[in-house]
Structure 1
Amino acid sequence: MTDYGEEQRNELEALESIYPDSFTVLSQNPASFTITVTSESSENEEIVQLTLQFTYVEKYPDEAPLYEVSSQENLEDEDIEDIMSLLQEQVQENLGMVMIFTLVSAVLEKLNGIVDQMKTRREEEKRRKEKEEEEKEKYMFHGTVVTIENFLSWKATFDVEMNEIRKKKQKEEEQMGKNKLTGKQLFERDHNLDTSDIRFLEEAGSNVEVDESLFQDMDDLDLEDDDDPDYIPGDIGSDDD
């Protein structure tokens, strides 16, 4: 007959020896304890961690122990679901044998795999961002490569825009032509225009200045007297001279 109590006590002693810093006894009857499992990682790498709680049933190891995740760090809900499925598989495979060490080892391997996936995702994200930056720089220095397709697309848009501009300009010119008045129309609309020059001269009146210095040398000029009966306009001299 199997002594379940003895097997359970022996396993507890072994577990306490294997996990001295992460093994904690919660109760003796029934035996309940926790083991904290932390992923292996190198310096500066993010770690993932969870605490598993186990409770022996009366006929353990012939019957499955109770187990649950009591706490976790840096794990997604999907990761926890995968771990619980893994524990269920391992329990069924190891019924009849003490199995806590086997279960913890399987979970540790799973956590290390999760860390590797996280590292891979970070590296892929880094490469993606670097590629985006390279594409931006390439575009800044080289612009968009012209192909027949994108040229035709650009030209179609350009033609539409230029047609709209021409229509708008033509409409503005037509409107300006309609609003422009002829000289006759201006005079008919504003009767002050026909007297504006006269009014300007009247207002100028005595304010018009004459530069008399322009006429100071008039007496020195050898001019014929128009009153002389012998004076002929344009006559420079006689034949006798």
Structure 2
Amino acid sequence: MAVDIDTCRLEQEGEIETLKCIYSSDEFTNLDENTFEIKLTSELDEVDEYSNAGRYGLIIQFTYKPAYPFVPPLYELRSAYSTPEDVVNSISNAMETLLANYTGQVMIYDVCSEIQQILSDALGRVTDLSEGDCTTKEEAPAEIYGTMVTVETFMEWNKEFLAEITDLNIKKKSEIDPAKLTGRQLFERDEKLFLSDIQFFEDADGEDLDEPAVEIDESLFQDLGGLDLDDCD
């Protein structure tokens, strides 16, 4: 079949103009009248902008032959971002089949769409594997995340906790030597001491506060340098 090169040239020019409208300036780069690059990217919802983790990319350089689209274009593949080598190799192996399937018609957009899908599928498989390795909270054993607390389980635990505290307090009191107790500890252990002080103040309350409750022997203070105790009133 005879190929009209002028007709092929018109189709090539029309396809390039269409690709410029489809892809952004960051995605499409026209190198010369026969050669251009298209950058394809697939990424997750959350991507590390510094390491590009979660993002795959591929740059494809196409070069028209004079008889394109009746013959496939030349191409070169370059990895972008964090795309693994095995993913690039799988796309490279699929390229010849893709180009052959579309021979006879302008094909660049259709070929790139299929390659874009391969990138997305490859990235999705990596994500599924990483998520599959992680045990979800619902499936994880109780010793990792603990047991869910309900009103019933809390009341049961609280009852046991109070019983344990009571036993510890009884044991602790029985082990303390009364001779070594502080005044506060004595009051806490023996209510009679506290009540005796109350009784003391109640008894004192009914007495004449103008008279000293305890007699003072003034002879004990005679050697205080002539100090008159009456002056201290």
Q: TM-score range by the shorter chain?
A: 0.5 to 0.7
Q: Which residue of 2 aligns with 1:9?
A: 13
By how many angstroms is 1:73 displaced?
2.1
By how many angstroms is 1:63 displaced?
0.6
**Whole-Å separation in 2 of the counterparts to 1:32 and 1:102:** 18
**Whole-Å separation in 2 of the counterparts to 1:20 and 1:123:** 33
Q: Which has the larger radius of gyration?
A: 1
Amino acid aligned to 1:26: L
Match for residue 36 of structure 2 among 33, 37, 54? 33
Report if aligned partners of 2:41, 2:58 keep a CA contact under 8 Å in 1: yes
Q: What's the TM-score, normalizing by structure 2? A: 0.52
By how many angstroms is 1:40 displaced?
4.5
Q: What's the TM-score, normalizing by structure 1? A: 0.51
By how many angstroms is 1:6 displaced?
0.4
Match for residue 43 of structure 1 among 36, 42, 46? 46
**Pair 1:67 & 2:72 matched:** no
**Whole-Å separation in 2 of the counterparts to 1:76 and 1:113:** 13
Secondary structure of 2:32's counterpart equals: strand
**Whole-Å separation in 2 of the counterparts to 1:19 and 1:5:** 21
Amino acid aligned to 1:27: D
Report matched runs for 1:130-149 at 5 Å. 134=141
Q: Deviations over 1:134-172 (max 9, x none)?
A: 59x58xxxxxxxxxxxxxxxxxxxxxxxxxxxxxxxxxx
**Whole-Å separation in 1 of the counterparts to 2:74 and 2:65:** 7
Residue segments in structure 2 that go unaligned for 5+ positions in a row: 48-52, 145-233
Q: Which residue of 2 aligns with 1:116?
A: 124
Amino acid aligned to 2:62: F
Report if aligned partners of 2:79, 2:88 keep a CA contact under 8 Å in 1: no
* Number of aligned positions between the proteins: 134
Amino acid aligned to 2:32: S
**Whole-Å separation in 2 of the counterparts to 1:49 and 1:69:** 11
